Amino acid sequence: MSHIPSFGVGTFRLKGQTALDSVRNALEVGYRAIDTAQIYGNEAEVGEAIAQSGVKRAELFVTTKIWTDSYAKAKLVPSLRQSLEKLRIDYVDLTLIHWPAPGNGVELPEYMEALAEAKALGLTRQIGISNFNIELTRQAIAVVGKGEIATNQIELSPYLQNHKLTAFLNEQGITVTSYMTLAYGKVLHDPVLAKIAGKHQATVAQVALAWALQLGYAVIPSSTKRENLASNLLARNIKLDAEDMALIATLERNGREITPAGLAPVWD
């Protein structure tokens, strides 16, 4: 069974010094899992923050994602080696295919085989996928074998609960990693979540993250503010009751924030 830390720090949309500061602060307040991607353009800053932190490599869990222009068999492994150079580490703990990108010119079997090769070479300890629907996840499993896909990192929030896909992933023993768990901050103004937060003397962000954790998902929220990074981590201490979870279940509205043309699959 794969092991994915349940709580990490995300770096989507963070660039330059902002990315470096965010990761440095996250490591200082206790995060040990960091999520980046080739397309984020911040692997070097993440690597710099790790190097400055003095945290032992063995204590960290680093995830990166292969971008669509490196899906071809001849390109994937070299692109991951470049990522490792930027990150200043010998291996990543998890490497994901960032988007299925149907019609990209590289078929799924080719990039999944190349990803498996990266693992066989020791460049990554685990492999996974991101933004894959049920059918594409099935196809990916067929290529690399059952038990090989550690996670599917997908957009999930109280407004986008993705029941069919998450049920399928659970059934397959694939960890669900939730990104955009706060729906770009939209859930922060939700009256139902605010009421639950009041009951637990928590913030709304903590409640949304606790909801995902309680469903067994891994979360990777990002923040540029040190106090928010620290506050988000406290979501691990909140235990929502059955009534809270039932109330949050009613917030589903298929509220998807990200579905880039040419990259996204047909969603379930």
Return all residues near 182 (Cβ < 8 A) that are at least 6 apart.
157, 188, 205, 208, 209, 221
**Residues forming a β-bridge with 153:** 130, 177
- To the question of pTM greater than 0.95 for the whole model, the response is yes
User: 18 exposed, middle or buried (CB, 10 Å; 0-12, 13-18, 19+)?
Assistant: middle
- Which own/partner contact pairs does 243-248 have at CB distance under 8 Å and 24+ positions apart? 244/196, 244/199, 244/200, 244/207, 244/211, 245/211, 245/214, 247/192, 247/195, 247/196, 248/158, 248/192, 248/193, 248/196, 248/207, 248/211
**Confidence category of residue 103, pLDDT binned at 50, 70, 90:** confident
Residue 57: Cβ within 10 Å count: 12
Tell me the average pLDDT across 224-239. 97
Write down the mean pLDDT value for the chain.
97
Establish whether 189 is an annotated binding residue. Answer: no
**Confidence category of residue 247, pLDDT binned at 50, 70, 90:** very high
Tell me the average pLDDT across 72-79. 98
Residue 40 annotated among the catalytic residues of the structure: yes
DSSP output for 62-78: EEEEE-GGG-SHHHHHH
pLDDT digit string (tens) for 16-61?
A: 999 999 999 999 999 999 999 999 999 999 999 999 999 999 999 9
Tokens 């988000």 sit at which residue? 232
pLDDT digit string (tens) for 168-180?
A: 999 999 999 999 9
Report which of 171, 106, 130 is spatially closest to residue 38, judged by C-alpha positions: 130
CB-based contact 65:96 (threshold 8 Å) = yes
Local structure of 156: helix, strand or coil: coil
Tell me the average pLDDT across 175-188. 97
Rounded Cα distance, 126 and 118, in Å: 9
Report which of 116, 120, 121 is spatially closest to residue 129, judged by C-alpha positions: 116
| Residue range 9-184+217-224, CATH number | 3.20.20.100
Tell me the average pLDDT across 199-212. 98
Among 40, 71, 111, 159, which one carries the catalytic annotation?
A: 40
CB-based contact 67:39 (threshold 8 Å) = yes
In this structure, the dihedral spanned by the alpha carbons of residues 257, 61, 151 and 167, taken in order and rounded to 10 degrees, is -80
